[in-house]
Amino acid sequence: MKTNFFKKLSKIKPGFLFFLALFVAMSFYYKLDRTMFYRPQSLHAWRQTDCLSITQNYYQRNNSFWEPEIYNQLSDDGHSGKTAGEFPLLYYGVALLWKLVGKSEFLYRLIVLSISFTGLFALFKFSKEVLKNNVQALFVSLGLYTSVTYVYYSANFLPNIPAFSLAVMAWYFIWMFYKTNKAKFLWTAMFFFALGMLLKVSSGISFVALMGWAFIELLRKKEKRILFKKPLRQLLPFFAVIISVLAWYLYAGYYNRLHQGYYTFNNVWPIWQISDKKIADIIHRANLLTRPAFMHISMYYVLAVMWVYVMATYKKRSVFLNYLLIVIPLGSILYVLMWFQAFDVHDYYWIDLYVNVLLVWILFFKTIGTHKWFNSKMVNILIIGFLLFNTVKCNQLLNSRYSGWKNSLYNNHFRAVGELGPVLLKHGIKPDDKVISIPDGSINITLYLMNRQGYTNFNSNFDKPGTLQHRINEDAKYLVVNDTSVLNDTLLRPFVKYPVLTYKNVKVFDLRPYKK
């Protein structure tokens, strides 16, 4: 038994072990072994708890796959949380695992991190085969893992990194298809593209570029075809991907119209809908907040030099690679313009732009790799040193996400709400008792943290007379206040005559006597 184990172990390639060791070491350096046990908090806790809310409702309420639901009662005239956004495969899959082993936010984070690792390893394996240089392959793959945005969402609850990772895996199988011309690899690639685009349709930037090339190959002479030798037949899996993605979003649209509730746009957020002043403001905020998290400034400079070199040496590459170098950036620009309003503070919208970075890195190393001096030990040491430098800078910015203003709302107000579950039960507040939770401008943060359905400031203007009474009439039984300064509000004062409990900074009041 032991002999068989060691035989299998000896067959594991050293490249994989080294990549795994470096990935794990970087993860520990980033303190993921600690932060992966955190409750949803810090930047974009709003979106984190939207994802967790759907997952928890699958787990707790046994909803069917086709009935995603959140805590906020924003649907069916304030009586349900039924609403759909991206394809809920990740949420439903995690919920099934929770049913087997029990609820664990750590397990959710671990699944996302595992998908991220698999995508980066596929990238490493692909880069190693193409570049014939382990150090360069490590830079291409783990260079992404020195980005604050990438690392932060690699162990988080959002579907953006899994979607991007699936697209990366798809490209590995496109490479296998190129090498073998076997249809099974093309279909496998399309399967991963489909999963990625179902999770986040914007992860399909490179898919669209690839499909465009398939149409170009259709018009080329047989002897000049590079990738798709039989383009008419090989376009079929592309159409299968498009049909599957369209089918889901048509269903999501129908589901949302049926229940009249929307937790996400499922639409564009374009630049042409806003004023010049607003555009300038978004650019200013992006420069301050999201651009530095995408890459360290040193990486931008290096990337710019690489891009200039790659553009200047276009004659050294095939027409297909030059096509990608033009079309993918153009597609990315279109993506930015269509969702421009999200790029100021929503750093996870930047994730799909990493495809441009990878393209430049790979083409640069592939082109310059013909020079022997560039494969010298000294250059390899410099590459590793630069990678480590960016790792240190990433860690510094990553740590800041859990302190100061970036996490003050959670530390000062929401942390105690996340501890309320057993306290509420102890005071007779049942799991299905709906609550009004204020102040909370998000859809689900406090509702998810206390595991209660109800209403927040997001879809209830409690500054408007009659709103609170309306929610009480819709069966809101308790008022949960995480910032007692709001109790001075004249509209709120008549509804706080029946206190139930005080826990740290949280006060809970009984609203049942006010129901009409």
User: Is residue 371 very low, low, confident or very high in pLDDT (cuts 50, 70, 90)?
Assistant: confident
In DSSP terms, 86 is beta-bridged to none
Closest CA to 172 of 155, 188, 149, 154: 188
Tokens of 87: 């394809």
DSSP 483-503: -GGGGG-TTTGGG-SSEEEEE
- The 3-state DSSP class for residue 371 equals coil
Q: Output DSSP code: residue 433.
A: -
Residue 377's pLDDT is what? 87
pLDDT at 211: 97
- Closest by CA position to 354, among listed 411, 428, 303: 303
Name the nearest CA neighbour of 22 among 365, 384, 295, 416.
Answer: 384
Q: Quick one: pLDDT at residue 12?
A: 52
Distance separating alpha carbons of residues 317 and 228, to the nearest angstrom: 18
CA distance 329 to 334: 9
pLDDT digits (tens, 9 = 90+) for 35-62: 999 999 999 999 999 999 999 999 999 8
* Weakest mean pLDDT among 8-22, 85-99, 152-166: 8-22
Residue-level pLDDT at 5:
43
Q: What Cα–Cα distance (Å) separates residue 438 from each residue in 403, 478, 500?
A: 23, 11, 16
Q: Which range is least confidently modeled, 31-45, 291-305, 375-389? A: 375-389
pLDDT for residue 6 = 43
Residue 11: per-residue pLDDT: 52
In this predicted model, what pLDDT tens digit does every residue of 187-213 receive, in sequence order?
A: 999 999 999 999 999 999 999 999 999
What's the whole-number mean pLDDT along residues 389-394? 97
* Band of residue 1 on the pLDDT scale cut at 50, 70, 90: very low
Token pair, residue 100, equals: 């087997």
Rg (CA), the chain: 25
Report residue 171 as tokens: 């490209």
What does the pLDDT look like over 346-370, one tens digit per residue?
Answer: 999 999 999 999 999 999 999 997 7
- Largest Cα–Cα separation, the chain: 83
Which residue type is seen at 317? R
- Say if residue 485's pLDDT is above 90: yes
Q: What is the mean pLDDT of the chain?
A: 93
Contact 54, 159 (CB under 8 A): no
- In the chain, what percentage of residues exceed pLDDT 70? 97
Of 460, 411, 457, 416, which is closest to residue 438 (Cα–Cα)? 457
Angle (CA) 427-430-432 rounded to 5° is: 155
Residue 131 above 90 pLDDT?
A: yes
Please tell me which residue, 264 or 405, carries the higher pLDDT value: 405
Q: What is the mean pLDDT of residues 225-253?
A: 95
User: pLDDT at residue 34 above 70?
Assistant: yes
CB-based contacts of 31, cutoff 8 Å, min separation 6? 395, 398, 399
Q: What pLDDT is stored for residue 513 in this prediction?
A: 94
| pLDDT value of residue 221 | 85
SS3 434: strand
Percent of the chain past pLDDT 90, that is, above it, reads 88
Look at 69-73, 103-107, 368-372, 382-386 and tell me which has the smallest mean pLDDT. Answer: 368-372
Q: Is 211 helix (H, G, I), strand (E, B) or coil?
A: helix
Structure token pair of residue 14: 């050293």
